[in-house]
Amino acid sequence: NQTDTDDLPIQRFNREKRIAKEKRAYEKGGALGLTPKLLFAFEDGVVCEYINGKRMWVILQQDKSRIWTMLQDIIKIYSQLHQLGITH
C-alpha cells in the first residue's frame, strides 16, 4: 500500500506520541517565548494560551509588503525551535 508521501522524510506518529511531542514542544517553546504557553495537555489534544493580536492574514491584507519581514521573523523562530530539537 504505497502512498504519494512514502518517499518523503516524514515521521508519522500515533495519537499518543503526537500529543506527547506537541506537549514537549509547547513546554520548551513556551518557556522561551517561542510558542504559546501550554495550559493543559489531554489524552487527545493540548490547550495553549491565547495570544492577543492581529492575525497575520489581516495584516497582510492591509500591507502585503510586510510579508518579507514576517517571514524573516518566522524563520528565526523556527531556527531556534529546531536548535532545541523541536520540529514539526
pLDDT band for 11, please (50, 70, 90 cuts): low
Nearest to 27 by CA among 17, 45, 44, 40: 40
pLDDT for res 15 = 82
Give residue-wise pLDDT tens across range 59-68: 999 999 999 9
| Mean pLDDT over the full length of the chain | 88
pTM of the predicted protein model: 0.73
> Which letter does DSSP use for residue 64 in this model?
G
pLDDT for res 6 = 59
Q: Is the dihedral of CA 80, 82, 83, 85 positive or negative?
A: positive
Residue 25 or 13, more confident: 25
